Amino acid sequence: MPIFPHQPSRLSKPRKLRLALTAFAAALLLLPTQGPAIELSAGEHPSQGEMSDLSRSIIADAKGTGAPSSAATTEFANIAGGIIGSLRRAAGSSGNQYSLALPGRADAESRVPSIPLLLADGKINAAFNPAGTTLQYNGDNTIATASLGFGYLKKPNELAATGQELKAATMIGSQIAAGTDFSIYQSHKDLVVNTLLQVPDSGFRFRLSGGYLWGAQNFDFPSGTANIDLEQFSYLFSTQYILPKSRSISFLQSIGLSAWGARANQLSNADGPRLFLQDSGTEYLIMNDPLALSEGHLFGASGDMQIALRSNMVVKGSVGYEQLRFPFADGTSELNRKTFYNVDLNYEPFPSLAIGGGYKAGASEKRTTLVAGIRNWSLSAFINKGQNGVSDNRGVMLTYTLAIPGRNRQTDLASRLQPNRGSDKSTMLADALIRPVQIPQTFLAKVDLTAVTQVGTATRSSAMTLQVAEPVTSFTPLAATGGTAPFTYFVSAGTLPAGLALNATTGAVTGIPTTAQSAASVTFAARDADSVTFGQTITLIFTVNAAAPFDVGVIGL
Amino acid sequence: MNKKRFITLLLALSSLLIGQRALASTPSGTPDPVTGYITDTDDCTITPDQYYMTVYRVGLGNSLPAAPTTSSPIDFSGFVTVFESSSGWREQVKKGISAPLTGTKIRPPSGTYTFAYVELAPKIEVKAKARFNTARWQLINSATYTNGTYNNYKENAGAYFWSKNGSTYNWGNPPFGLVGHGATVDNTTYAVTKHFMNSIATDSELYSADFKINGVTASAYLVNSSYKLASGAAALPSANPMGDIARIIAIMPVTLTVTAENTGLNISFNVSNGSTIHMNHPSNSGRAGYTNGDVAIDCFGAGPFEPIITVY
């Protein structure tokens, strides 16, 4: 049984939607309709969303549609889906057993060692490989995988090293597929629930996806880095029209329309608000940093199509519009409008070589993904340039895949990727498992600088050297604003040099030192009328030198 | 004679209160450039051989303190003390030579000061001598003094007069025998005469006086040991001419700027006119050789203060 990740206690505001999604995902995983299916694999999931079509290709092939998947898509899917060590079921099995064998490798079964953990009737499989552990279940109407592995994912100010993924999809009746993709990263968790409806024989397929991303991320605030808890809701609605199959080499396989949106929500402000000093040149400005993020609102729409350029090359592209708006604390907002486009290329130049690439550009992300696979090895990498203040991230993964003897694929890549216009459990289940590329994988939030306000001033000096009998020019070590006036200033630590006094009302220090003293620190603090202590204190080191000799005499004229 | 002494003291106080160099308007005993004799026949000032003052405190401030009364002391809390000696420091003031006071010296905070005060013993000590060009008489004693007429004078026995050990008081008749008189100075009797301030006036008790110096009020007070306004003084020949007078305090407007670079402060006195030769012209009711209006020498008293407070 899958174990849901521990939910950090910092996520203080559990969301109904999150619970609903989680419950739905759990229900899918527990569905006994066609027998349980669990796959455990290992690895990070650096480019999961972008690889959806490739993954689907694999799954579709696995479900026995007679459309074998390509080597490229398989390798890609393993990486994208985090299934480092995919377990392939034996080929030539009965109709309710499907293979995830390396596509495009006619001799794969002869070269890849058998999986030692083939259980029961072959629906439950497990494997260990250098990158992790995978457990898989493939049923007639249900697919479930789980993975645990290692990889490299570079996000701002953090290095993630582990990840787990849990996937499940099932048919509800013959025309509806529901699935979930739940990924657990070191810093956050990502849950996507998909529902697909295919109208029989019409070629129309509808998709509704909901996403919930939650966790923590470091942000560089003016007061320093802080780890902020966030959540992000996403949705996607799309419709797809599947064109009749064509025997031409280059043909349009499907067209569609999609609309999506997302909204980030800041759940905590770490240890904020924090005060920090900003040097104005003449004094320090005491700034209050509430550690507030501008929570981005994303909306996009696109037209989609899938084209088989050649029998071994399939491209899926989307062109549309995306806008990302950041509202700020001062009432202003930043609206970023961008043309949205996404291209996924799947190419099998040779049966043993798979090449894939994807590029997504929009208002929130510019993500480039590349993957190459040769035999059991594949290397994938992605670079995501966050747009309009959204954080960057990048990742890379080298994967070695163990495969069990599988069924030879008899069809080409283009055939494998095209969905059926009628009932098509395999591609629907495959689609129900994947994470739509339109749903952002990054928190759409950035530091709201307008929330930073000045709440006082402080002297720039850190040490003061005085002299007995030399009057101190009135200065104010600490001046606070905000809070409930009036402020009361006081010395919280140390003692002012003899002769100096702190004006409790104004915070000014005046006087004439009367006694020499060595360096001693004095800390100035303030509290407001509600006895709330001001968060910023100022410590000065006072040294008082002895007065120069001064003689008094009489003289005659 | 009393009137002249009163004027001299007022002038002296005025000079003190000015706080800056103020030339005394009192007559100056200018020796004849040829003979070196003093030709004055009325009070005049000369340079004493020795001039002593006893200083208790010196302070700087920026406002006048509330005047003392017999029930409330003068308040110097607004002043900074730059010198203090609880027992007072008696120092000889020498022309052109700075004599440091011994006591507690405190650097005043840098800044500008508009008032200064000096707390002194109510006496000034002088040791002086003079040579006159003509005969002078000397008051011998008061036994024959009747109705303002002195009957007992010693004739001129020489051109030299000198101060002798003793005390004179500002209010009251001068005592007898405070000067020596002869053809030469008798160093065995040549000594310091103490001039006590038992009143600001010479003909009545007066313990405080205000003056306007350049439009600014300056004040002088005779106070007791509690710094309250004094009382109980009496004119000579009273047995207790000082009453409870313990100090004379002079508060004067000044314009002083003290900076961190300054290393000291001097109180300058014009010792060139530091002693007043008090003369009289008594009538004679029978003294042989004395002609009415002849000049008699009473004593060598204090000359006018001419303090100048400077920082260096």
pLDDT at A553: 93
What is the mean pLDDT of the segment spanning B250-271? 89
| Among B254, B34, B297, B29, CA closest to B155 | B297
B143 touches chain A (CB under 8 A): no
CA angle at A366 for the pair A365 and A367, rounded to the nearest 5°: 105
Question: What is the rounded CA–CA span in Å between residue B207 and residue B242?
Answer: 11
CA angle at A539 for the pair A535 and A544, rounded to the nearest 5°: 155
pLDDT at A507: 93
Q: Which range is most confident: A19-33, A88-102, A301-315?
A: A301-315
Q: Is the ipTM of this complex over 0.90?
A: no
- In B157-189, which positions are buried (b, 16+ CB within 10 angstroms) versus exposed (e)? ebbbbbbbebbbbbbbbbbbbbbbbeeebeeee
Residues, chain B: 312
Q: Evaluate if residue B174 carries a pLDDT over 50.
A: yes
Closest residue in chain B to residue A467, using alpha carbons only:
B260
Question: Using the beta-carbon criterion (under 8 Å), do A469 and B98 form an inter-chain contact?
Answer: no
What is the mean pLDDT of the segment spanning B70-83? 94
Which of B107, B125, B269 is most worth mutating to test chain A (most A CB atoms within 10 A of its CB)? B107
pLDDT at B216: 67
Closest residue in chain B to residue A551, using alpha carbons only:
B264
Indicate the pairing of strand B80-92 with strand A538-545.
unpaired
Give the closest of A512, A547, A557 to B268, CB-based.
A557
| Among B127, B135, B125, CA closest to B163 | B127
Summarised one tens digit per residue, pLDDT across range A119-134 is: 434 555 555 443 345 6
Measured between beta carbons, which residues in chain A are less than 8 angstroms from residue B269? Answer: 554-557
Question: What is the rounded CA–CA span in Å between residue A173 and residue A81?
Answer: 26
What is the mean pLDDT of the segment spanning B141-156? 52
Q: Which range is most confident: A85-94, B24-33, B263-272?
A: B263-272
Q: Evaluate if residue B23 carries a pLDDT over 60.
A: no
Summarised one tens digit per residue, pLDDT across range A417-451 is: 777 777 677 778 878 888 888 998 889 999 999 99
A247 confidence band (pLDDT: 50, 70, 90): low
End-to-end Cα, chain B, rounded Å: 41
Q: What percentage of chain B exceeds 70 in pLDDT?
A: 77
CA angle at A54 for the pair A52 and A60, rounded to the nearest 5°: 100
pLDDT at A135: 64
Question: Using the beta-carbon criterion (under 8 Å), do A553 and B268 form an inter-chain contact?
Answer: no
Question: What is the rounded CA–CA span in Å between residue A331 and residue A436?
Answer: 33
Look at A13-17, A118-122, A317-321, A364-368 and tell me which has the smallest mean pLDDT.
A13-17
Q: Evaluate if residue B274 carries a pLDDT over 80.
A: yes
Mean of pLDDT over chain A: 73
Give the closest of B101, B272, B274 to A552, CB-based.
B101
Residue that is written with structure tokens 């570079």 in the block: A154
What is the mean pLDDT of the segment spanning B80-102? 94
Summarised one tens digit per residue, pLDDT across range A55-114 is: 343 333 333 333 333 333 333 333 333 333 332 332 223 333 333 322 333 333 233 333
* Sign of the dihedral defined by the CA atoms of residues B232, B233, B235, B238, in that order: positive
B80 confidence band (pLDDT: 50, 70, 90): very high
Q: Evaluate if residue A304 carries a pLDDT over 80.
A: yes
DSSP letters along B97-158, please?
A: BEEEPPSEE-PPPSEEEEEEEEEEEEEEEEE-EEEBSS--EEE--STT-BTTB---EEPP--
Q: Evaluate if residue A233 carries a pLDDT over 90.
A: yes
Question: Using the beta-carbon criterion (under 8 Å), do A550 and B267 form an inter-chain contact?
Answer: no
B91 touches chain A (CB under 8 A): yes
Quote the minimal CA–CA distance from A470 to chain B in Å.
5
Give the closest of A469, A470, A555 to B99, CB-based.
A555
Q: What percentage of chain B exceeds 90 in pLDDT?
A: 39
> Residue B18: enclosing H or E segment and its boundaries?
helix B2-18
Q: What percentage of chain A exceeds 90 in pLDDT?
A: 33
Question: Using the beta-carbon criterion (under 8 Å), do B269 and A552 form an inter-chain contact?
Answer: no
Q: Tokens representing A152?
A: 């490299």
pLDDT at A30: 39
Give the closest of A469, A552, A556 to B271, CB-based.
A556
Question: What is the rounded CA–CA span in Å between residue A41 and residue A143?
Answer: 14
Query: Is the pLDDT higher at A333 or at B140?
Result: A333
Question: What is the rounded CA–CA span in Å between residue A215 and residue A221?
Answer: 18
What is the mean pLDDT of the segment spanning B15-20? 32
What is the mean pLDDT of the segment spanning B147-153? 51
- Which one-letter DSSP state was computed for residue A419? P
**Maximum alpha-carbon separation in chain B:** 68
B178 confidence band (pLDDT: 50, 70, 90): confident
Q: Evaluate if residue A238 carries a pLDDT over 90.
A: yes
pLDDT at A10: 33
Measured between beta carbons, which residues in chain B are less than 8 angstroms from residue A555? Answer: 93-94, 96-99, 266-269
Quote the minimal CA–CA distance from A553 to chain B in Å.
4
Mean of pLDDT over chain B: 80
| Among A44, A41, A38, A45, CA closest to A2 | A38
Measured between beta carbons, which residues in chain B are less than 8 angstroms from residue A548? Answer: 107, 260, 263
Summarised one tens digit per residue, pLDDT across range A503-556 is: 999 999 999 999 999 999 999 999 988 888 888 889 999 999 998 899 999 998
Q: Evaluate if residue A494 carries a pLDDT over 60.
A: yes
Q: Evaluate if residue B18 carries a pLDDT over 60.
A: no
Angle between helices A52-62 and A71-80 (to 10 degrees): 120
Summarised one tens digit per residue, pLDDT across range A394-417 is: 777 666 554 433 344 456 777 777
Question: What is the rounded CA–CA span in Å between residue A405 and residue A100?
Answer: 10
Question: Using the beta-carbon criterion (under 8 Å), do A471 and B109 form an inter-chain contact?
Answer: yes
pLDDT at A131: 38
- Give residue ranges of A with CB < 8 Å to any B CB: 467-471, 512, 547-557
What is the mean pLDDT of the segment spanning A462-491? 88
Quote the minimal CA–CA distance from A541 to chain B in Å.
22
Q: Tokens representing A184?
A: 């657990």
